[in-house]
Chain A
Amino acid sequence: MNPELQGRVLPPTEPYLVGREKVREFARAVFATNPINLDPEAARAAGYADVVAPPTFPIVVQELTLAQLLAEPDADIDFSRVVHGDQRFSYTRPVVAGDQLTATLTVSSVKSLGPHSIVVAESVIVDADGAHVVTAVSQLVVRGED
């Protein structure tokens, strides 16, 4: 892959509107049992406007930025050789149904390790007011030719 990607900032994604049923569907898929993730009444009682998304839900929005990165014409990343190494989420607040989220990816680093490349991609996710919600960081390993 192209080492000159390091430092590149991609354009913000189109706004992603977080739907209540999407949150519930995602919550069930990760075996969430907390009523604040599933029941709007329980979420309101806890002080939220609607159901709260599970901690890893931001991957859905981050994924839009990773797709942008892979589609960069000069990225030279073979998707079939990409392995997910690490993942991290740092939250200012949880995602709540009704949020309109926009994500901006920065390629923090590109390093070579033998035939492999290690890319760290940081996606900053903000709400409709531009306030920070969560930053999602992925380390991707692009395996070299065998």
Chain B
Amino acid sequence: MPTPDFASLTVGDVVAERSFPLTRDSLVRYAGASGDFNPIHYRDDVAAEVGLPGVLAHGMLTMGLAVQPVVDWAGDPGRIADYQVRFTRPVVVDPQAGATIDVTAKVGQLDEAASVVRIDLTVKVGDETVLGKAQVRVSLG
């Protein structure tokens, strides 16, 4: 896969955008794949008991999918040098309607000496941001 050309990047460039429609099935699949079987991610009764507005997506699922547009843009997953997020708002997944997570990846900072680009992610459900300080450092050297 082609590597993005560092020299052609400018702070503010949108390098990738993708929408992820989640259903309850997505949560069950992630629970099995990750081993996180906390029932707040698949049982309405348990979610209600602990005072949540509904069944929630795993924070680590949101973090895991939000970086995927950047992995594809970078071409090689090995170019991801660092990835961090803050979990600012839970993602409620309706049993029928699900939830859609919209990801926009923008150039936030360019470190020319190291050929490292910081990609800043905007991760939203509707108008609400669900991840804060979501930053991926991609090494293009």
> What is the interface of chain A, defined by CB distance below 8 A to chain B?
22, 25-26, 28-34, 36-37, 46, 48, 52-56, 59-60, 63, 80, 83-91, 93-94
Contact = CB atoms under 8 A, between A and B. Distances in A.
Contact of A80 (B20, B34, B50, B85): B50
A33 B67 CA distance: 11
Cβ-closest 8 pairs across A and B: A30-B64, A29-B33, A88-B84, A56-B64, A29-B30, A26-B33, A31-B65, A25-B33
Given A26-B33, A59-B34, A87-B60, A32 B82 contact: no
Contact of A28 (B20, B29, B59, B84): B29
A25 B87 CA distance: 24
A146 B20 CA distance: 35
A87 B59 contact: yes
Given A85-B87, A87-B85, A87-B87, A32 B76 contact: no
A19 B34 CA distance: 13
Given A31-B20, A56-B67, A91 B80 contact: yes
A91 B71 contact: no
Contacts of A86: 84-87, 133
B63 A87 contact: yes
17 contacts: A26-B34, A29-B33, A29-B64, A30-B64, A30-B65, A31-B68, A34-B1, A36-B1, A46-B78, A56-B63, A63-B34, A63-B35, A85-B86, A87-B87, A88-B82, A88-B83, A88-B84
Interface string B33-57: 1111000000000000010000000
A26 B77 CA distance: 14
A86 B133 CA distance: 9
A2 to B, nearest CB: 23
Interface in B100-138: 133, 136
A89 B87 contact: no
A34 B76 CA distance: 8
Contacts of B36: 63
Contacts of A91: 80-82
B61 A30 contact: yes
Contact of A94 (B26, B72, B80, B87): B80
A28 B29 CA distance: 9
A28 B140 CA distance: 26
A59 B64 CA distance: 10
Contact of A54 (B26, B35, B68, B81): B68
